[in-house]
Amino acid sequence: MIKPSRWHRLPTVPVLEALPQMTWSRASGVPPAAETAALMLFIALNFMVLTSTDGQDQFHAVAEGTYVDLGEATGLSRALISAGLQRLQTLGLITPEGSHQKRRYKITWPIEHRFFKLPCQAITNGNVIVPFKSFTMRSKHELHALKLYLYFASIRGSYLPYSMASYETIFARTRIPERDIRRAISVLIGTGLLEGVDREHSRMRGVNEPNKYYLKGYMALTGQRQAQVNDAATVAGGDVAAA
């Protein structure tokens, strides 16, 4: 079951290494939607974790989630849950533990404890991740959107409510084609994973900076309520033009 919290931590390096490997293609008879399902499940599992630190100060995160729990959280079929979990194992993001009757999933955390925050309460209702209700599992743009979502979360500065990245950088780090980035952003906004996008001109530098992307629930990530006034006054009517 989802553990209610303003945000949960995810491991930065394993996620950033996995994103470029995920493409909308059929491999070994597995449907391309398994890629999208894998990221949905990874988010759900990280919302369900129990965490601990051992005597060597190593962080551990283990999720207990049955197929029923994961299906309720994501809206995925049992077939896609199975395929998605297998893909996460192949990518090295999780390791299953225990029996089939009581399966647990250990999230991969490197010794170097670099993490990023992902909003939880802002996008969940009970054990349901609400934006996932809008996913059809039939489009590459949904996979791109989830890759972009995790990438934005991973690059946000600790004290900033937004993430900044040019289209060129997004492609280099995620392998989402630049021509598809705008559509992915639209999916994120339409499903409620992204609050908005702000493109502003830097008067001091005299140049257009990369877009600022605000995740749904971004205020919970910084704990700075004043940032809503200082940094996000124009988000609601933000522009999604190319960076």
- pLDDT tens for each residue of 21-74: 999 988 767 899 999 999 999 999 999 999 988 888 889 999 999 999 999 999
Expressed as residue numbers, the domain containing 74 is 7-237
How far does the chain reach from its first CA to its final CA, in angstroms?
38
Is the Cβ–Cβ distance between 121 and 220 less than 8 Å? yes
- Mean pLDDT score, 159-179: 96
The Cα–Cα gap between 225 and 233 comes to: 12
Q: How confident is the model at residue 102 (pLDDT cuts 50, 70, 90)?
A: confident
Q: Averaged over 169-190, what is the pLDDT?
A: 98
Strand partners, 202: 207
Q: Are 22 and 149 in contact (CB under 8 A)?
A: no
- Structural domain includes residue 154: yes
Judge whether 2 lies within some domain. Answer: no
| Rounded distance between C-alpha atoms, residue 3 and residue 49, angstroms | 7
Residue bearing the bigger pLDDT, 235 or 160? 160
Amino acid at 145: A
Q: Is residue 65 part of a domain?
A: yes
Whether 173 shows a pLDDT value over 50: the answer reads yes
- Average pLDDT, stretch 170-177? 98
Looking at the structure of the chain, the number of domains it has is 1
- At residue 186, does pLDDT exceed 80? yes
- 31, part of any domain: yes
Relative orientation angle of helices 33-47 and 78-90, to the nearest 10 degrees: 80
Q: So what's the pLDDT on residue 28?
A: 66
pLDDT tops 50 at residue 240: no
Q: What is the pLDDT of residue 162?
A: 96
pLDDT, residue 45, reads 98
User: What pLDDT does residue 203 have?
Assistant: 53
What's the CA gap between 176 and 145, in Å, rounded? 9
pLDDT digits (tens, 9 = 90+) for 68-96: 999 999 999 999 999 999 999 999 999 99
User: Quick check: is 1 in a domain?
Assistant: no
pLDDT at 137: 97
In a domain, residue 150? The reply is yes
Q: How many angstroms separate the CA atoms of 218 and 156, rounded?
A: 10
